[in-house]
Amino acid sequence: MTGRKRIYALLLCAGLVLVLSVSAAFIIQEADHDCTGEDCPICRNIAINIRLLRTIGLAALLLPALFLQPAVHAEHDRQDHHHAFLPRTLVSWKIRLND
């Protein structure tokens, strides 16, 4: 990873951590607010923050898999390339002829 990409990745991680922290702090702080009932703006903001946390949490779970997929495919292709040069015999395929 180049230096510039590393800086962007660190800034992205810091931004995500900041957003998650502020959202969680808002939910904790306003959990026992004096609710005005229906159409309460604080309840609406709490719901938005909960949805944001769920979305970012799901993205945090799925994005690494998305980024790791090309590496897994490259490793798989490399192993297939390695096996292409091995002789293909009944012994290498572990096939026994009992007749």
Residue 42 within binding range of Zn ion, rule CB under 5 A: yes
52 is a site residue for Zn ion (CB under 5 A): no
- Least distance in angstroms from the C-beta of 41 to Zn ion: 8
Q: Could you give the CA distance from residue 79 to residue 61 in angstroms, rounded to a whole number?
A: 27
Cβ-based nearer residue to Zn ion, 18 or 35? 35
Q: What is the C-alpha separation between 54 and 60, in angstroms, rounded?
A: 10
- Shortest approach of Zn ion to residue 53 CB, angstroms? 18
Q: Which of residues 20-39 bind Zn ion (CB under 5 A)?
A: 35
Give the separation between CA 75 and CA 46, rounded to whole angstroms.
44
Among 19, 40, 52, 56, binds Zn ion (CB under 5 A): 40
Nearer to Zn ion, 40 or 56 (CB): 40
Count of chain residues binding Zn ion (CB under 5 A): 4
**Full 3-state SS string of 24-56:** HHHHHHCCCCCCCCCCCHHHHHHHHHHHHHHHH
What six digits make up the tokens of 20?
């998650």
What residues make contact with Zn ion under the rule CB under 5 A? 35, 40, 42-43
